[in-house]
Amino acid sequence: MTFYLNLDFLKRNCLIFLYLFIHSLLLFSQPVDCEKIVTFLNEKETQIARLNLHDPDYIPLHFLVAKDITKELEQFRTNVLPYFTECITITFSELINKYDELKNDLQIKHDSLFWLNENIHLIFYEQALYEYQIHNDADAEYLLQRSLQYNDTFPDAILLKLNKLLKNNHFEACLSLLHSLYYETQLDRAQEMQAIEFTAQFYNKLYNTADSLIKIERAAEALTLFEVLERFCLNLPTSYCNDDYFHGVLRSKSGIYESYIAIAKVAEKRGNNAIAAHFYKYAEEYLDGEPYLQKAESTKGRTDEGENGGNNFSPTPNANRHLMTEEVKSFEDESTKAEKDEVIKEKYDNLVMQALGLCIREELMQSYKMFLEAKKLEDCNCFNTDFRVDLMIRELKKILE
């Protein structure tokens, strides 16, 4: 019998044998510290048990902790399990069972934390809604702000924040947030309707507030609001604006100009000519910087000259006010009605939200009564009704009968 020597075969197998030999040496010579292994497993068990799935303030941090524990267990599987030998503290079977148990528990919590972390803005928003419903406004504002910190283009949170800002007359902040709502978010149909409704409320309240300030001779404050309204009209896609805001700006500036003149006249009457001269100068400088106001005052000056026998001074705000008594009364009546309507609408919205919350908690009779109470408020015909009221009354009545 003849044998042929295959050198390539021998070389390949020698390398394999050498690798197995070295690996076996490492396997049997690798020191295994059983106490450290048990301590490690117990620590991971405690850390996994402490992972919080309920408090949104902790969710982002605990999600990162879960990722770190995952890496540590993977390293443990690679660096420890292949070299483990039996010891008194823990058997190989116990070690594998413990490792698998920890890995499974961690996987469940990691997956939950992943979803919660992705939707944490929604969790904060829903908690804010609940706190507002129970009139815990301080906590609600904190939670709403947290929602926007995690997702500053979340439409529902923006709309809620806008309504709270408008309620407290924070018009500048509203304008900034409105810009985000229109240009940086994607709205569904329901959110679009809410945005349209809010925009109308914003315009009306801002205009009426500024207009009322002019009528009580607070022209500088009115001008600030009318300038906000001007930016609103120029920068946002809205059909609510007409020339009213521009006339409001002019009336505010005219009020500021007239206030300088009025102060100057009072100073003249009291013999304080230096002060009078200063305020006439302020009036002149203010007028020089406002070309549209110059035109308006020029027209008014010609009218005053014909009516007042050539008096060169512009009329004071008091002179204008007497000519507008009926208009002011009409505005005040409309303003009072608008304020009452706003109070009714706010009460209506609160009832609807509370009724929905009761329904979620399965307090059906209380929810039904609250929806009926909200339904009565619709009789004023002073706001857009919520379609959910009729729907919930009908469905709850079926359940309770």
228 within some domain: yes
Distance, CA of 82 to chain centre: 52
99, 157: one domain: no
99, 33: one domain: yes
CB 355 within 8 A of CB 392: yes
pLDDT digits (tens, 9 = 90+) for 257-281: 887 787 778 777 877 787 778 778 8
pLDDT band at 125 (very low <50, low <70, confident <90, very high): very high
Residue 7 confidence (pLDDT) above 80: no
pLDDT band at 321 (very low <50, low <70, confident <90, very high): very low
pLDDT given at position 200: 86
Q: Which range marks the domain in which residue 374 is found?
A: 342-400
pLDDT band at 367 (very low <50, low <70, confident <90, very high): confident
Is-above-0.75 flag for pTM?
Answer: no
Q: Which of 216, 241, 266 is the endpoint of a domain? A: 241
pLDDT band at 309 (very low <50, low <70, confident <90, very high): very low
Q: Which of 225, 241, 257 is the endpoint of a domain? A: 241
94, 169: one domain: no
**31-35, 40-44, 108-112, 362-366, range with the lowest pLDDT:** 31-35
94, 163: one domain: no
pLDDT band at 362 (very low <50, low <70, confident <90, very high): low
84 within some domain: yes
291 within some domain: no
226, 164: one domain: yes
182 within some domain: yes
As a whole number of angstroms, the distance between CA 59 and CA 120 comes to: 8
58 within some domain: yes
Looking at every residue in the chain, the average pLDDT score rounds to: 77
Residue 132 confidence (pLDDT) above 90: yes
pLDDT given at position 268: 79
Residue 16 confidence (pLDDT) above 50: no
pLDDT band at 298 (very low <50, low <70, confident <90, very high): low
362 within some domain: yes
pLDDT given at position 129: 94
pLDDT digits (tens, 9 = 90+) for 173-222: 998 898 888 888 888 899 888 988 898 899 889 988 988 888 887 888 88
pLDDT given at position 287: 81
Residue 341 confidence (pLDDT) above 60: yes
Residues 6+ apart with CB under 8 A from 286: 253, 256, 257, 260
187 within some domain: yes
163, 234: one domain: yes
Q: Which of 118, 139, 160 is the endpoint of a domain? A: 118
pLDDT given at position 336: 58
Residue 146 confidence (pLDDT) above 50: yes
163, 230: one domain: yes
Token readout for 10 is 């021998």
pLDDT digits (tens, 9 = 90+) for 55-102: 888 888 888 999 999 999 999 998 888 888 777 788 888 888 999 999
Give how many domains the chain has, as a whole number: 3
161 within some domain: yes
192, 234: one domain: yes
pLDDT given at position 386: 78
